[in-house]
Structure 1
Amino acid sequence: MHGMTGRSDAALDSPAPTSTVMLLLLVTMTGIAPVSLYMLVPALPVLAASLGRDISIAQMTVSLYMVGLACSQIIMGPLSDRFGRRPVLLAGLGLMIAASIGCMVAETLPQLIAARFFQALGGATGMVVSRAIIRDLYPRHRVGAMISLVIAVMMIAQMVSPLIGGLLETAFGWRSIFHAIAAASLLVAIAIAVLLPETRRARDPDPACGFRGDIRSLFTSRAFIAYVLCQVLASQIIFTFAGAGPYIVVTQMGRSSAEYGAWFATTGFAYLVGNLFCVRFAPRHSLERLIWLGLALQGAGALLNLAWGIAGLNQAPSWLFGTQMLVMVANAFVMSNSAAGAISVRPEAAGTASGAMGFLQMGLGSLFSQFGAYLGGHFATPVPTNIAIVVLSIACASTMIFLVPRRGVVATEELIEQAEEETGLL
């Protein structure tokens, strides 16, 4: 396998940060973009009134931000494979700081929307590069656990970010949110510049091992396609349910928006719990076994939700969200470990693999959230949404059944890692 000749000289010469410091770096670089997304949401009504535009137009500061998240990952991932993790991270955060300043001084909503797009374009660098750094630093069997650990810690910050945004807007006005984002981005950039060594693996000078070679080897690999499809399809369960949820609870069940928010928070908590369980189980089980555990639980929860829907029980939020929590716990197992499998197929191209996966996840997510909204808004029961989640669960399992090569390929990857560890390269 080309390119697996160890990390760069910079990585070998630089002192490695402690595990706690590395975890904090990974969490902050991963979370800066999604936290910045959710911080602005509570301020949208005030922002729209301040700039004299309709709230539906102000919503584009969120929707185009998500487009920026998707576009960034397909660009920044391959760049990090070619030029290194540190320079791409610092460039991305520099762009985010500049765009945040643009948000502060924006006088019109189109200016703000454009600045938000570039803010996402820079901020999402941390999302894609953090997965590549995890693969640089850890052997295949530990990658899933590390991704889960980073997600678990990051989600705590993500859950409180709307509250922080609301408090900032109330106390200092909506522009203060962008002051806070710019300051946080600057602090993360300084921490990366001071504490993070270069982790990218040294590349084979053969031109065939460059970007085109990475793309060719990844997208001709059945294992890579299977893991990516499994991860992306599992994430669409979240987007579909999130799109349908408000319509199901508020329109179909006649509950308040505040009650929907409280119930929806239970799914985020369940996803957090799933990631914590994944961290606990990962040292004793293979990626494939953890994925299958997640797929089994995910399918069982989806089928239960469909059964409740057909029986008419899902007209109460406790039935709908109680079973969806099981789906979300399982979803954490599937997503973290299939992501680990995808970026482990060609470790020296982990950035490209991570970028392709993130792009598909976010790009399809915008479509599936609209699809979920259609299912929730155009039907009188949750059953169509339940059916969609069952279909997505079956599709996830199908990728593992029909596309993932048998044990021999996995064993080969593990033998390569063992040889690397024995020669001190990992």
Structure 2
Amino acid sequence: MTMQPVPSDRRTLILTLGALSALGAASIDMYLPALPSLAEQLPGPVGGAQFTLSAFFLGMAFSQLVYGPLSDAIGRRTVLLGGLLLFVLASLACAMAESIPQLIGLRVLQALGAGVGGVVARAIVRDLYRGNQAASAQSLINLAMLVTPLLAPIIGGQLLTRFHWQSIFLVLALLGVTCIALTFFKVDESLPPQKRTTTHLTTLLGGYARVLGNRYSLGCILTGAFAFGAFFAYLAGSPFVFIEIYAIPAEHYGYFFSTNIVGIMIAAFINSRVVLHAGPLLMLRIGVCIMTLAAIVLLWSASVPGQLWHVVVPLFFVVGSIGIIGANAISCTLQPFSDIAGTAAATFGFIQMLIGALVGTAVGLLHDGSARPMCLVIAVMALTALGLCLSLIREPRKGTE
């Protein structure tokens, strides 16, 4: 029987798991204000700064598939410490990058390290807690992941203004060292050797085939992934739109970014109440419709001369709709797969991050010094999500997969 930590140890453990889960978000959001500076100071192709964001998404995509089975086979702590060490070394190397192509490669390694936090933290919660305690622990971890995008861009903007872009990666390395110390001293091994399992490649591939072969789940995965693609286009393009086009100081970019994160939190709160009556599928459709309408308005606003608020207002609804879409897309994806929920979740995460990598590359390739590339990619992603939602997703019959 698994021993439960005493309350004080439980609080420390949950805070540690929250910090581990937030590592990926911090690595993305803290350096967003520095993207224009990277483009100016490091030699590389036009739009290459956005490619560094795509590289991070690519690394995160593959980390979704690796760390879960690996931690099931050799234990949680070993995998955590190994991934965190990779993150620290890669972050230090990023600070010493001398060109955009170098930084692209190093960001892949940094993401492979950062990805360990979220995957293994969820596994530890499953090991230690059940029922309401598990839900409570996961809610606190999710709170840390929401707070991070509120603070990270503001911190990154201040570091960029007071020091230089390299300081952002040094702070991330310090955060990684802190996570290593917390893991070493506060996180005990939660998966004893007798409970460890080795998942064979054929079993894994069979699970992924089951998920992708289910029309309902595939529709939910692709709808959610393309909707997140719109959000990733915002991540890749908004630093240039706000800082270069609308002349927002880099240290103030984080405040605009945080406003949209508040929109996600408000939408998530509304969804948590309404979904109990409306159901996740209807809420998913509503969220995608809101995003698509806002994306069309955003694209029109970028096509005509206008003021900053003409872009900020529709962006608020595009980004805020993620608070409705995200939870319901993953909930509907997992619905037919109670026996391989982890595999279904990993498939969702992999495709989501893979599309993020492609979207960041597209925004970089289309970069023309205006807001149009970002707004165009957002609109294409939203319209694609809507089309997939309407064409692929039908309410599954009870008792069928």
TM-score range, shorter chain: 0.7 to 0.9
- Report the alpha carbon displacement of residue 162 of structure 1 after superposing the two structures with TM: 3.2
2:232 aligned to which of 215, 234, 239 = 239
Q: What CA distance in whole angstroms lies between the structure 2 residues aligned with 1:27 and 1:285?
A: 26
| Residue correspondence of structure 1 range 8-407 to structure 2 within 5 A | 12-13=2-3, 15=5, 20-43=11-34, 53=43, 61-103=52-94, 106=96, 108-109=98-99, 113-133=104-124, 137=129, 150-168=141-159, 174-193=165-184, 194-195=186-187, 197-198=189-190, 202=195, 210-242=203-235, 255-258=246-249, 261=253, 265-278=258-271, 280-281=272-273, 285=276, 289-300=279-290, 302-303=292-293, 306=296, 315=306, 317-342=308-333, 346=337, 349-371=340-362, 388=380, 390-395=382-387, 397-398=389-390, 401-402=393-394, 405-407=396-398
Percent same amino acid at aligned positions? Answer: 25
Q: What CA distance in whole angstroms lies between the structure 2 residues aligned with 1:248 and 1:332?
A: 23
Change (3 A) 1:389 1:149: farther
- Report the alpha carbon displacement of residue 394 of structure 1 after superposing the two structures with TM: 1.8
User: Structure 2: which amino acid aligns with 1:91?
Assistant: G
Q: What CA distance in whole angstroms lies between the structure 1 residues aligned with 2:174 and 2:6?
A: 26
| TM-score in terms of structure 2 length | 0.73
- Report the alpha carbon displacement of residue 234 of structure 1 after superposing the two structures with TM: 2.2
Structure 1 residues 187-214: Cα deviation after superposition (integer angstroms, max 9, x where no partner): 2233334235526995778969943443
Q: What CA distance in whole angstroms lies between the structure 2 residues aligned with 1:383 and 1:208?
A: 41
Change (3 A) 1:376 1:265: farther
Tell me if structure 2 keeps the 8 A contact 1:86–1:192: yes
User: Structure 2: which amino acid aligns with 1:266?
Assistant: T
Name 1:413's counterpart in structure 2.
none
- Report the alpha carbon displacement of residue 122 of structure 1 after superposing the two structures with TM: 0.8
Tell me if structure 2 keeps the 8 A contact 1:128–1:351: no
- Report the alpha carbon displacement of residue 245 of structure 1 after superposing the two structures with TM: 5.6
Change (3 A) 1:272 1:111: same
CA RMSD of aligned residues (A): 4.7
Change (3 A) 1:386 1:362: closer
Change (3 A) 1:37 1:331: closer
Q: What CA distance in whole angstroms lies between the structure 2 residues aligned with 1:49 and 1:388?
A: 29
How many residues were matched structurally? 390
- Report the alpha carbon displacement of residue 93 of structure 1 after superposing the two structures with TM: 1.0
Q: What CA distance in whole angstroms lies between the structure 2 residues aligned with 1:301 and 1:219?
A: 25
Structure 1 residues 333-383: Cα deviation after superposition (integer angstroms, max 9, x where no partner): 221232244456556655443333222112112323455677896997999
Change (3 A) 1:315 1:250: farther
Q: What CA distance in whole angstroms lies between the structure 1 residues aligned with 2:196 and 2:391?
A: 31
Change (3 A) 1:131 1:376: farther
- Bigger radius of gyration among the two: 1
Deviates more, 1:172-181 or 1:87-96: 172-181
Q: What CA distance in whole angstroms lies between the structure 2 residues aligned with 1:396 and 1:138?
A: 35
Name 1:424's counterpart in structure 2.
none
Change (3 A) 1:28 1:49: same
SS at the partner of 2:322? helix
- Report the alpha carbon displacement of residue 228 of structure 1 after superposing the two structures with TM: 2.2
- Report the alpha carbon displacement of residue 45 of structure 1 after superposing the two structures with TM: 6.7
Unaligned runs of 5+ in 1: 1-8, 411-426
Q: What CA distance in whole angstroms lies between the structure 1 residues aligned with 2:217 and 2:141?
A: 22
User: Structure 2: which amino acid aligns with 1:359?
Assistant: F
Tell me if structure 2 keeps the 8 A contact 1:271–1:331: yes
Q: What CA distance in whole angstroms lies between the structure 2 residues aligned with 1:383 and 1:174?
A: 26
| TM-score in terms of structure 1 length | 0.70
SS at the partner of 2:30? helix
User: Structure 1: which amino acid aligns with 2:293?
Assistant: L
Q: What CA distance in whole angstroms lies between the structure 2 residues aligned with 1:385 and 1:207?
A: 39
SS at the partner of 1:256? coil
Q: What CA distance in whole angstroms lies between the structure 2 residues aligned with 1:307 and 1:168?
A: 34
SS at the partner of 2:230? helix
Tell me if structure 1 keeps the 8 A contact 2:61–2:354: yes
SS at the partner of 2:120? helix
Unaligned runs of 5+ in 2: none
Q: What CA distance in whole angstroms lies between the structure 2 residues aligned with 1:100 and 1:206?
A: 31
- Report the alpha carbon displacement of residue 94 of structure 1 after superposing the two structures with TM: 2.0
Tell me if structure 2 keeps the 8 A contact 1:16–1:197: no
